[in-house]
Structures are given as structure tokens and as C-alpha cells.
Amino acid sequence: MREEDFSAPQRVVGLAMYLLREIREQRIALDDIEEMSDELKGQGYTDSEINAAFDWVYDRVDGVDPSEIVYRSGFTTHSFRVLHPAERAVLSPEAYGQLIEMQALGMLDMEDMERLIDRALAIGGPMSSQDLRTLVHSYLFEEGTRAGGKGALALTRPGSNTVH
């Protein structure tokens, strides 16, 4: 599915995922915001989508060395969450794959994943990757939730369980 087919909140979540991937792979630096914004505008993102995603990411990685933005410690130990059959009936494989990627990027921790899976079960399914992005947006970007507002990413150093 093309990014243009997503709604604004879904595009913001996708853009935040993209930025975290690029920062982790050291392909961009937060200092390159203006250049990156122009490139993203050329791809069809609006100023408000770009600003929302950059603001969310910047609040969480400001002052952190990009080399320290790696997979969470849960992934370095190769642990993962197996879905119950009822959860599999609600979350499409693509939606669950996005949840796993968001956890790997540091957007979500295990508690966040559990809360989002619980919310998906409460809403009912089947939930597509588009639906999941809307749910994640409301969870991460809206005030009044544990993860909303100014929460920090749990960043680890390679070979370490130290959380910064």
C-alpha cells in the first residue's frame, strides 16, 4: 500500500518509523531537518505531518548518539510475543509485523504492545495495518496516555542492557 493511501495520523506514524530507521542506520542526522523536510514535502507529506513526526522523534532522541539507537534489549535477546488465536483473529499479519517493527525501533515497549493489543481486541477486528497506525497514533501522539506527550525511547547500547 502506498503512503498516500493512509490518513494523516497514519502517515505521521509511518513517517516517525521511517525517521527512526534512518537515524538508527545513520543515514540522516537530526541536524539535517531542513534538507529532509524539503525531501519529504516532495514525496507528498504536509508540513503538519512532517512537523508532528519530527517533533515526536526529536523529543525522544535529542542528545543521543545515533549509534546508540539500536534494537531494544528484548530483541537483542531474541524474545518475542506470540499472539493468542483470538489476537491473531483481530490483528492481520501485516499489522502485527508493524507492531514488532515499532518495538524494534524503540517506539513501543512490551507494555505498550500489550496495551495496543488489548485495545485492538476491544475494538474488534480484523485490524489492518492502516487501522493499527491509527490506533498507535492515538496512543503515542495524544495527551493523556502513558506513552503520549514527552515519553522517552528506551535506548540501549549494543551488548548492554543499560537503558538511557
CA dihedral sign of residues 162, 148, 104, 123 = positive
Instruction: Say whether pTM exceeds 0.75.
Output: no
Diameter over CA atoms, the chain: 46
Question: What does the pLDDT profile of the chain (164 residues) look like in tens digits?
Answer: 445 556 788 889 989 998 888 877 777 776 777 788 888 898 889 999 998 888 888 877 766 655 555 443 334 445 667 889 999 999 999 999 999 989 888 888 888 989 999 999 999 878 998 899 999 999 988 754 444 443 444 433 334 444 33
Distances (CA, A) of 30 to 16, 19, 140: 13, 9, 20
CA dihedral sign of residues 71, 127, 115, 86 = negative
- All three cell numbers of 103, joined, read 518495538
Domain parsing of the chain, residue ranges: 3-141
